[in-house]
């Protein structure tokens, strides 16, 4: 996983601040591969408190704090898309 401990902590703190402590977070995509370089931060979040404004605020706060582009995928209750299954299967739970 190509994130530092402080970056991982920053991500979990920000996601929990915006979506609540019950939110579950997975890192997926190129940042899970130690052999790759660069790339954005792909995050998948499961929460019972989805809201577009929360998503936008969280994404912006993460991008400013990490100084990296962040792709934030938030699963709403009852929603199911292929990206959700891929992110959980191939991702790393933070």
**DSSP string for 9-66:** HHHHHHHHHHH-TT-EEEEESGGG-TT-----EEEEEE-S---HHHHHHHHHHHHHHH
Query: pLDDT, tens digit, for every residue of 31-54?
Result: 998 888 878 999 999 998 889 999
CATH ID of 5-93, from 3.30.460.10, 3.40.190.10, 3.90.1150.10, 3.40.50.2300: 3.30.460.10
Instruction: Check residue 81 and give its pLDDT.
Output: 93
Query: pLDDT, tens digit, for every residue of 70-86?
Result: 999 999 888 899 999 99
Instruction: Check residue 77 and give its pLDDT.
Output: 84
Instruction: Check residue 12 and give its pLDDT.
Output: 98
């Amino acid at each position: 996983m190509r994130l530092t401990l402080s970056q991982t902590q920053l991500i979990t703190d920000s996601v929990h601040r915006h979506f609540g402590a019950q939110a579950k977070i997975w890192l997926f995509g190129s940042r899970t591969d130690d052999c790759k370089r660069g790339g954005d931060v792909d995050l998948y979040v499961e929460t019972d408190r989805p809201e577009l404004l929360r998503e936008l605020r969280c994404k912006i706060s993460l991008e400013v704090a990490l100084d990296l582009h962040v792709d934030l995928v938030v699963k709403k209750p009852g929603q199911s898309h292929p990206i959700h299954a891929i992110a959980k299967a191939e991702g790393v739970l933070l």
